[in-house]
Amino acid sequence: MNPFSPVRAPGGRPLLACALVGVALAVTSIGMELTDAEPHLVMWVGVGAGALFLAALPLARGVGDDALTLRAGLLIGAGAGAVLAVIGLWRATGRDQPVVLLLLVPSLLLLITAALAVREARLAAHARRMKQLRARLQGQEDERRRWAQELHDQTLQDLAALELWLASLSRTHDPDRLAAGVEDARGMVHEQIGVLRHLITQMRPLALDTLGLRAAVQDLAHRAEGEVTVACDVERLPAGLPPDTQVAIYRIVQEALSNAVQHAHCHRIAVRATNDGSQLVVTVRDDGRGLPDPASGDAPSTSFGRIGMRERAESLGAHLTWSTPEGGGTMVTLRVPEAARPHS
């Protein structure tokens, strides 16, 4: 079996089997009703269809829009099975107006409720998409503002200073002072080249486009080394991941490394990727001071950087957690499901 095969439904194959058999029984019950088949048989086939749809409900896991719509659809199927069962029972009684018709009322209410649930799920999904779009646009504006501030405060100011320095050199007639000044100017230009390269890498890592996610994460770990030691074991990162998945994993690791280096007061950081056959697990662990106190205002739920990390994970349908492992420190764990990984 190919471990990268796509998941057909949030509950996998058991859910798919229950739903398909339920649909088959419901269609069979309708056909039997149209052909005046034995009423008790029609009733039990309808009961079986409704029971299968209800049995599939606990298997429809997840909180996404697709999962909510699927559960509402299963409720509609269960209601349809109940209606078919009641019709079969009605015919089996042999009465013109049996009391059993009262059972149609809750069955129809179930159908109406499920239909309304589908509508509400779609409206909620639309509202979430609009909110995410607004947040994304705001994030882009904030990012542009940050780059503009960075360029203005550092690069532009340094280039202006370089211009003044070159202007002063143009008026000198001392060969030694001119040579020293040119050397200083070269150093300033070299420094600005490094700053611009860093900014470009922050905006879009070249290694991610040219060498792939594995090399890009290894480059992140290498650049984070200095006052801390970074161990990087990401050989299990699969090749051929979708571009959005690569970017999300890269940015999450980047932010986790940045938080560890700047705020954790740690000495060692370990970046690791594993694959347990059902999901890709990427961890960033440090030996620092551990998770911040929620009362400090720097908890994972309130930090802007961590909010961005969580939003990137949610965009993949992945699960992101912060924990304090045995031995102290902080571990950031990203669990990427099969659906976001490469398909054969």
CB 334 within 8 A of CB 245: no
| Cα(311)–Cα(300) distance, integer angstroms | 12
How do residues 262-284 score in pLDDT, each as one tens digit? 888 899 999 999 987 778 999 99
pLDDT single digits (tens) 89-139: 777 776 555 555 555 655 666 666 667 677 767 777 777 777 766 766 666
Q: Show the tokens assigned to 245.
A: 């998945």
Q: Is the pTM of this model over 0.75?
A: no
Highest mean pLDDT among 25-39, 89-103, 174-188: 174-188
Residues paired with 337 in a beta bridge: 279
What is the average pLDDT across 290-314? 65
Residue 2, pLDDT score: 32
Contact assessment for residue 328 and residue 287, using Cβ atoms and an 8 Å cutoff = yes
**Which H helix or E strand runs over 280?**
strand 279-286
CB-CB contact of 84 with 49 (8 Å): yes
Which is more confidently placed, 32 or 253?
Answer: 253
As a whole number of angstroms, the distance between CA 267 and CA 229 comes to: 6
Mean pLDDT of 253-270: 90
The residue-averaged pLDDT of 312-329 equals: 88
Q: How far apart are CA 332 and CA 271, in angstroms?
A: 10
Q: Per-residue pLDDT averaged across 211-237, rounded?
A: 90
